[in-house]
Structure 1
Amino acid sequence: FWFMFVSNFCLSALSITNLGLISSMVGFILHQKNEIVTYQVNWPEETVQLVTHPANLWTDQGHMSNGVAGYGFFLGLIAMYVACRQRHRAGKPPSKTLVAVFVLQLLSVLFTLSAIIFVFIVTNETKHQHILESVARSNVPYPEHWWTPENWYKAVLELPLASEQHRSSISSAVTHMVAWKWILIPIFLLDVLTFVITTVEMIRQRR
């Protein structure tokens, strides 16, 4: 009981933390797009009002990770409730609710693993890109390449921005973006752990 309860509590807690980080990224992007609009970039040869978002921004990995976090949060809550109902069931067939949690946790393991693969592939494919002075134009979304939010704003930080306030807010947002990406890994490990514990509990009840 306690192993199942505590592991799922940790899964819910970590998932809601990641959900908050991803939501903060979405809020930041919308704020930059609707309120800030452009960053002033002081290149040696010219000054450009760079639009805060590129023409090609890849967001599917964020949506998928958001789904993983939401799924993990609610699954953890459900599994904690089911764990409380599993006391004194040794020797009885596994309850239908435990079997349901077993199936949902198996799906969660596969879902989170696919999200990790997708997120890291997309991020690695775009991480060596830079914003070029020869391509950037004032008040026009940067047209070259596809970008993830993380790699776009990392590239923006490489530029001679006129506003230190913008630089500071972007740097903080990038930290959150990097954090939610890496938190997917401990979420996956907790998915595996909770799945194994549920499997052991099902075997225990059959004895």
Structure 2
Amino acid sequence: MVGTTLILKIAIALLMIDAIIELSFISSMVAWLHRRGGGPFEIDYEGSSYSIHGKPLHLLTNQGHTSNGASGTAFVLIGIGGFLALWLRSRIDFRSSTLSKLYYHFWMTMTVLSAMLSFDAMVYTFVITKAHRHQRIDQHVASQLQNRPYPNMVLYPLLSWTPENWYSALLKLDLVDSADRHNVSMHLAIMKAWRWNTIPLFLLGLAVAVVAVLDGLARRKLARRETRSYSPSATKGYF
């Protein structure tokens, strides 16, 4: 039992670290999209250049919101909330405290639901990225938009794009400024990183859920043994 509790604490700590990394990646992407990610970028095309806005008209962001929600839930509710649940469980008055027991059960239930949310975020992000991965920017259309900086910007109107798919397509164009190419490449790497990081986020969340259940069952067995060894009221109501 002591062993499963220690493993549970380690798993929670690792989940919190990974969740913070995921939140950082997504926050970095969102901040950049609201700043320099909006461009405009100058593109060489057929002997001249044209300006294209840094974001398309139809930018898909729900996968980012889902991943952000999954990582936030993992960090706050499962991570911080988990250490609180284990601390309450270690108190002498835990068995007589209805509120503490209710919170502990709530937390164990949420470990499963949080892992499911992380799984949904992982699948959703990979599926939607794959669905748009072969898209290309039509330069003939883009060069005719006569784009100007805000507030007279004209966004690229064709297709729907995830941020990762859009900037991957943008890098296939001939950007005039090499600094722009470096900047886009760097932030594209961050976008790919938060997509791939949904995998360990789910796996760690699943590990926490499994170990939390096993640890809880071990505690229940111990309580039953104590009940048989001492008195009927010694551990009554542990779960």
The CA distance in 1 between the partners of 2:91 and 2:158, in whole Å, is 62
| Deviation at residue 97 of structure 1 after TM alignment | 3.0
Contact 1:22-1:177 at 8 Å conserved across structures: yes
Letter in 2 for 1:76: G
Counterpart among 32, 51, 54 of residue 52 in structure 1? 54
| Deviation at residue 113 of structure 1 after TM alignment | 1.1
The CA distance in 2 between the partners of 1:200 and 1:41, in whole Å, is 58
Counterpart among 14, 28, 32 of residue 32 in structure 2? 28
Which residue does 1:8 correspond to in 2? Answer: 12
Contact 1:9-1:77 at 8 Å conserved across structures: no
Extract unaligned runs of 5+ from structure 1.
none
Contact 1:98-1:198 at 8 Å conserved across structures: no
Q: Give the secondary structure class of the aligned counterpart of 2:68.
A: helix
Deviates more, 1:41-50 or 1:146-155: 41-50
* Percent sequence identity over aligned pairs: 29
Deviates more, 1:182-191 or 1:98-107: 98-107
Which residue does 1:73 correspond to in 2? Answer: 75
Letter in 2 for 1:2: L
The CA distance in 1 between the partners of 2:65 and 2:104, in whole Å, is 29
| Deviation at residue 205 of structure 1 after TM alignment | 1.3
RMSD (Å) for aligned C-alpha atoms? 1.9
Matched, 1:206 2:220: yes
The CA distance in 1 between the partners of 2:215 and 2:88, in whole Å, is 12
- Spell out, residue by residue over 1:72-122, the C-alpha distance to the aligned partner (whole angstroms, 9 max, x if none): 111211112322444498xx7993332111111111011111111211111
The CA distance in 2 between the partners of 1:159 and 1:23, in whole Å, is 26
The CA distance in 1 between the partners of 2:91 and 2:156, in whole Å, is 62
Letter in 1 for 2:206: V
- Spell out, residue by residue over 1:151-202, the C-alpha distance to the aligned partner (whole angstroms, 9 max, x if none): 1011111110001111111100000000001111101011110011110111
| Deviation at residue 142 of structure 1 after TM alignment | 1.0
Q: Give the secondary structure class of the aligned counterpart of 1:138.
A: coil
The CA distance in 2 between the partners of 1:87 and 1:52, in whole Å, is 53
The CA distance in 2 between the partners of 1:130 and 1:203, in whole Å, is 53
Q: Give the secondary structure class of the aligned counterpart of 2:184.
A: helix
The CA distance in 1 between the partners of 2:178 and 2:72, in whole Å, is 35
Rate the CA distance shift 1:106–1:196 in 2: closer, same or farther, 3 A.
Answer: same
Extract unaligned runs of 5+ from structure 2.
148-153, 222-239
Letter in 2 for 1:158: K
Contact 1:98-1:202 at 8 Å conserved across structures: no
> How many residue pairs get matched?
203
The CA distance in 1 between the partners of 2:65 and 2:45, in whole Å, is 35
- When the two structures are superposed, what TM-score results if normalisation uses the length of structure 1? 0.92
Counterpart among 25, 40, 45 of residue 38 in structure 1? 40
Give the ranges of 4+ consecutive aligned residues of structure 1 lying more than 4 Å apart after TM superposition: none
Counterpart among 149, 154, 178 of residue 163 in structure 2? 149
Contact 1:58-1:148 at 8 Å conserved across structures: yes
Contact 1:39-1:49 at 8 Å conserved across structures: yes
Deviates more, 1:95-104 or 1:123-132: 95-104
Counterpart among 178, 188, 195 of residue 209 in structure 2? 195
Larger radius of gyration: 2
The CA distance in 1 between the partners of 2:181 and 2:27, in whole Å, is 20
